[in-house]
């Protein structure tokens, strides 16, 4: 599997623990931290909000999945070109925006935007996708996330305040998935308080995403029932 993302001797503020691991295409991992403070600090590091003062957070250069010259797949994804690309690491903060997507515990929606606007804003901002392609992706992932087709239109037209918490979480997952980032980082609390059948569908959708040359990293500071392996630390 191709390497995508790595931490090299990364320490969070106020923690003596150094973390080193590498994620490759297809990986789904749970990253368990010792405390809420360390968890929140690590989220900022792996999403590029902050720069590590100790160690390196790096992503592979040369992602071509979103190249407009690539073939468009049936699910709205840009298929990667088949040639081998040498592994060259770069600082996450220097990478093109949109290569890492983040899903917060409550979905992280912008309150004054409807779900459609929340979901498509990163596509226009980072990738400049056309509307038919965006609609194709949204319908594909909504179905996989377990929303009934006859509910699509009302859901996408809703303001966040009118939604139940599980619906806001679903919208946050949808927003991340339609971007098809190299790495999708999730607060593991997204799955708390969600009915079991929905949790199973969300996990299955994330598995499908990872199989399309991505990786999923769920971050937690407590035990979780997610079926993915824990991060294997190299140190």
* CATH number for the domain harbouring residue 143: 3.40.50.300
pTM: 0.86
| Residue 28 falls inside a structural domain | yes
**Domain annotation covers residue 158:** yes
Q: Looking at residues 93-97, what average pLDDT do you find?
A: 83
In a domain, 133, yes or no: yes
Q: What is the pLDDT of residue 65?
A: 44
What pLDDT is stored for residue 68 in this prediction? 42
Residue 225 or residue 127, greater confidence: 225
Whole-angstrom Cα distance, residue 91 to residue 105?
26
Domain that holds residue 18: 3-230
Mean pLDDT, the chain, integer: 87
SS3 of residue 14 by DSSP: coil
**Token digits for 81?**
């070109």
Work out the pLDDT band at 28, boundaries 50, 70, 90. Answer: very high
- Percent of the chain at pLDDT > 70 equals 85
Residue 235 maps to a domain: no
Return the pLDDT at 16: 85
Count of domains for the chain: 1
| Structure-token match 């295409």, residue found | 25
Q: Reply yes or no on whether the pLDDT at 69 is more than 50.
A: no
Q: Is residue 42 part of a domain?
A: yes
| pLDDT at residue 151, rounded to an integer | 93
Q: For the chain, give the percent of residues with pLDDT over 90.
A: 70
pLDDT in tens, 134-186: 888 899 999 999 999 999 999 999 999 999 999 999 999 999 999 999 999 99
Q: What is the pLDDT of residues 32-41, one digit of tens each?
A: 999 999 999 9
How does DSSP assign 89-125, residue by residue? Answer: EEEGGGSPTTSEEEE-TT----TTS-HHHHHHHHIII
């Amino acid at each position: 599997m191709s390497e995508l993302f790595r931490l090299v001797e990364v320490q969070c503020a106020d923690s003596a623990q150094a973390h080193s691991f590498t994620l490759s295409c297809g990986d789904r991992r749970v990253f368990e931290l010792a405390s809420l403070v360390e968890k929140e600090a690590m989220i900022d590091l792996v999403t590029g909000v902050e720069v590590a003062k100790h160690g390196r957070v790096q992503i592979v250069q040369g992602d071509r999945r979103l190249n407009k010259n690539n073939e468009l797949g049936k699910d709205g994804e840009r298929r990667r070109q088949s040639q081998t690309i040498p592994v060259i690491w770069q600082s996450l903060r220097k990478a093109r925006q949109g290569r890492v997507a983040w899903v917060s515990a409550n979905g992280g929606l912008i309150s004054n935007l409807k779900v459609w606007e929340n979901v498509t804003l990163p596509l226009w901002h980072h990738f400049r996708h056309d509307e038919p392609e965006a609609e194709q992706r949204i319908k594909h992932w909504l179905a996989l996330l377990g929303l009934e087709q006859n509910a699509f239109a009302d859901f996408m037209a809703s303001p966040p305040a009118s939604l139940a918490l599980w619906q806001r979480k679903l919208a946050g997952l949808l927003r991340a998935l339609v971007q098809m980032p190299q790495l999708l980082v999730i607060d593991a609390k997204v799955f708390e308080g969600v009915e079991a059948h929905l949790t199973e569908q969300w996990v299955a959708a994330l598995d499908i995403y990872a199989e399309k040359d991505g990786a999923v990293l769920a971050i937690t500071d407590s035990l979780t029932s997610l079926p993915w392996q824990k991060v294997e630390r190299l140190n």
